[in-house]
Structure 1
Amino acid sequence: MIETLKTRANQLFPGIAIAGLVAISAQFLNEHYGAPAMLMAILLGMPLNFLSDEQRTSEGIAFAARTLLRVGVALLGVRISIEMVQALGLPFLLLVILGVLATIVFSLMIGNLFGKDRLFAFLSGGAVAICGASAAMAIGSILPKRQHAERDLAFTVITVTVLSTLAMIVYPILTSNLGLSVDATSVFLGGTIHDVAQVVGAGFSVSEETGDLSTLVKLIRVTLLAPIVLVAALILRGSAEPGASRPPLMPVFVLAFLILAAFNSFGLVPETAKDLAGQISRWALLAAIAAVGMKTSIPKLLEVGGPAIWMVVSQTVFLALFVLAGIWVIG
């Protein structure tokens, strides 16, 4: 048993170590130059695509791309609590939930217009609607295995991260010109920007209060990741062709997410443990997205085409307009 574990560890270590080094490099660029860490991780990983075919590193890279991302998503649960949901208030809470669901439905409806199937539409729509790269990786892990899975995932992560970074700059200017209140600005920023880091950047660029409230709204969107992934897994399982591999009835990482969120809601997670879990989650996701980059061929990525970019842009614009309309209705 011990020898088997040692052998397995030796097989995985080189690939995981390289993914970790890319993650460290991405974090360095983030801390010193302000570049989005997730985007840097996947861009730095892509030139190393040849390592995913190298016998010594391929297994570790595959492990990082799949298992580490599930660990990272599961640990996001420690950031969620029922108090967050209650603090937002029912009207804005409903707006955030409806914004997520409407964006996913809209994505499924427009997929054919851009020449994309429903799996790609759900992948990109879920990333835009929920929490950017983290959502894309979680959704990608439950989709049926298909030929261009890694390519589509890498494309989605890059596109939503770039759009999220642009939104971080443009949206605070937009809310200022529209004369929105602090609460409305916070709901708009937290309810529309794709990635958590960019929400934090946008919110605190307006004011400290806006930063706190917009981060809260964003984390409520993150809360929806688990139920949406669970429902999707059940639907995909039921629609799988006879003999085809089916997603698990309840993905383990989704169950872990929900359990950790419940523990945190009841105050059972100490602050030190919460901080540690948050750090592990961030590094696991960075290493995972670096590994996804290493599994992605740049020429194949270009095959996705311009229509897919415009599809993600359309999803982003739809979500922004939906939330703005909801803020206007609520008043």
Structure 2
Amino acid sequence: MSSTHTLSAATSRTDSHGQLNGILFVALFAAAVTRLAAFPAIAGLGISPLIVGIVAGALYGNTLRVGMPAHWAAGVNFSARKLLRIAVAFFGLRVSLQEIAQVGLPGLTISVLIVVSTLVLGTWLGMKVMKLDRDTAILNAAGSAICGAAAVLAFESTLQSKPEKSAVAVGSVVLFGTLSMFLYPLLYRAGWLHLDTLGVGLFFGGTIHEVAQVVGAASNVSPEATHIATIVKMTRVMLLVPVLLVLGLWLARSPRGNAAVPAAGESNRSHATRKIAVPWFALGFLACVLVNSLHVLPQAATQTVNGLDTFALTMAMTALGIETRVAQVRKAGPRALATGFMLYVWLMVGGLAITWGVERLFT
């Protein structure tokens, strides 16, 4: 009996050491990724360390992962799951209610309309038109609707979906968000958008995928447009909390077997409903927004935490990349990319129409 107990304790220690080594490995990988993302050629494109992390992680995971000790996998999984939730919660320190109030009802109205319409349209297009499974469709819609890769991570955690589905969604965000960063300023300077400074800020912030991409695009117009666009974008980020809560309620009412679109003539395997999945990290996100709004933390402390949080998110994305299998990505890749393109057209055309309408309504 004692020998069995001793063996169990030794195994537990080995597992703990393996998990710690895996976390340290991902941290070192993310540190290298952060340095790589700081190169002017990459930073100038508005590509964040998160994006570089998932690409580099996927390259490693599909070529060299056989050389990684198997017991490190627990640490990689921890980084891709639990650390991810903590990092998403602290993302709220980048948003304050005072900043959101600066753009008032026009900014909030555009953010709500864009987020809701893109989520609904993206999920419908993905599942019904492109025949994607539910999780891939939702992740693609979330990345386009809210805040790019960070939204994909938050939704991936709530849906508990497979890493390759997140990779496909992030790929769409990278492609079309980067395209927006160059195309939007060109359209503005060509006189095709017919927007004033406020309108440019509302349109850019309301429809471009990533925060860095919004800043990159709007900075080619004016500092005032950049300020407005950034605040509108952070208003969209703020909507992550209510959307995740609604998603949790929806998942609780959905059958367990409904994670993928059933084939013709095939019924759902199970009609058992899930418990209500309240994402605690979304509540943590909201708490961090309130803390930031109350200014209880010194600015230097907030900046330090935000830097650590970006690094933690980079670790999570790198770990997701390591767990991603290219063979799985290929299955949904073209259809998911087509869905992302249709959403991109919607964000440009529908988003511009919404911006014109809101500007006329509030001026």
TM-score, scaled relative to structure 1: 0.91
Deviates more, 1:224-233 or 1:114-123: 114-123
Q: 1:28: which partner in 2? A: 35
- 1:137-180 CA distances to partner (integer Å, 9 max, x unpaired)? 100111155xxx21111111122122111111111111222342
Q: 2:150: which partner in 1? A: 134
CA distance in 1, matches of 2:141, 2:320: 19
Q: 2:313: which partner in 1? A: 285
Aligned to 1:78, which of 75, 89, 93? 93
**Given the alignment of the two structures, is residue 42 of structure 1 paired with residue 57 of structure 2, yes or no?**
no
**Could you say if the C-alpha distance between residues 314 and 243 of structure 1 is closer, same or farther in structure 2, counting changes exceeding 3 Å?**
closer
Q: Per-residue deviation at 1:5?
A: 9.7
CA distance in 2, matches of 1:319, 1:29: 30
CA distance in 2, matches of 1:324, 1:83: 26
Contact kept, 8 Å, 1:203 with 1:214, in 2: the verdict is yes
- 1:175-222 CA distances to partner (integer Å, 9 max, x unpaired)? 222342111111111111111111111122222222222111111110
Structure 1 unpaired stretches of 5+: none
Q: 1:63: which partner in 2? A: 78
Q: Per-residue deviation at 1:246?
A: 4.2
Structure 2 unpaired stretches of 5+: 1-9, 257-269
Deviates more, 1:275-284 or 1:247-256: 247-256
**Could you say if the C-alpha distance between residues 8 and 88 of structure 1 is closer, same or farther in structure 2, counting changes exceeding 3 Å?**
farther
Secondary structure of the structure 1 residue equivalent to 2:297: coil
CA distance in 2, matches of 1:295, 1:184: 41
**Given the alignment of the two structures, is residue 324 of structure 1 paired with residue 352 of structure 2, yes or no?**
yes
Larger radius of gyration: 2
Aligned to 1:310, which of 338, 341, 348? 338
Contact kept, 8 Å, 2:251 with 2:277, in 1: the verdict is no
Aligned to 2:125, which of 76, 90, 110? 110
**Given the alignment of the two structures, is residue 265 of structure 1 paired with residue 293 of structure 2, yes or no?**
yes
Q: 2:65: which partner in 1? A: 51
CA distance in 1, matches of 2:81, 2:297: 26
Q: 2:249: which partner in 1? A: 234
CA distance in 2, matches of 1:276, 1:287: 17
CA distance in 1, matches of 2:255, 2:140: 21
Secondary structure of the structure 1 residue equivalent to 2:219: helix
Q: 1:152: which partner in 2? A: 165
Amino acid at match of 1:211: T
**Given the alignment of the two structures, is residue 96 of structure 1 paired with residue 111 of structure 2, yes or no?**
yes
**Could you say if the C-alpha distance between residues 152 and 247 of structure 1 is closer, same or farther in structure 2, counting changes exceeding 3 Å?**
farther
Q: 1:203: which partner in 2? A: 218
- 1:255-278 CA distances to partner (integer Å, 9 max, x unpaired)? 111111122222223212211221
Contact kept, 8 Å, 2:140 with 2:169, in 1: the verdict is yes
**Given the alignment of the two structures, is residue 172 of structure 1 paired with residue 185 of structure 2, yes or no?**
yes
**Could you say if the C-alpha distance between residues 42 and 266 of structure 1 is closer, same or farther in structure 2, counting changes exceeding 3 Å?**
same
Identity of aligned residues (%): 33
Contact kept, 8 Å, 2:86 with 2:281, in 1: the verdict is yes
Aligned to 2:237, which of 209, 222, 225? 222
**Could you say if the C-alpha distance between residues 63 and 239 of structure 1 is closer, same or farther in structure 2, counting changes exceeding 3 Å?**
same
Q: Per-residue deviation at 1:56?
A: 2.8
Q: 1:18: which partner in 2? A: 25
Q: Per-residue deviation at 1:119?
A: 2.6
Number of residue-to-residue matches in the alignment = 327
- 1:3-39 CA distances to partner (integer Å, 9 max, x unpaired)? 9997665222222222223322222222113422222
Amino acid at match of 1:38: L
TM-score, scaled relative to structure 2: 0.83
**Could you say if the C-alpha distance between residues 314 and 23 of structure 1 is closer, same or farther in structure 2, counting changes exceeding 3 Å?**
same
Deviates more, 1:92-101 or 1:16-25: 16-25
Q: Per-residue deviation at 1:54?
A: 4.0
**Could you say if the C-alpha distance between residues 4 and 54 of structure 1 is closer, same or farther in structure 2, counting changes exceeding 3 Å?**
closer
Amino acid at match of 2:304: L
Q: 1:298: which partner in 2? A: 326
Q: Per-residue deviation at 1:247?
A: 6.4
What pairs with 1:243-262 in structure 2 (closer than 5 Å)? 246=274, 249-262=277-290
**Could you say if the C-alpha distance between residues 6 and 75 of structure 1 is closer, same or farther in structure 2, counting changes exceeding 3 Å?**
farther
**Could you say if the C-alpha distance between residues 119 and 298 of structure 1 is closer, same or farther in structure 2, counting changes exceeding 3 Å?**
closer
Contact kept, 8 Å, 1:16 with 1:64, in 2: the verdict is yes
**Could you say if the C-alpha distance between residues 297 and 54 of structure 1 is closer, same or farther in structure 2, counting changes exceeding 3 Å?**
farther
Amino acid at match of 1:42: I
Contact kept, 8 Å, 1:73 with 1:134, in 2: the verdict is yes
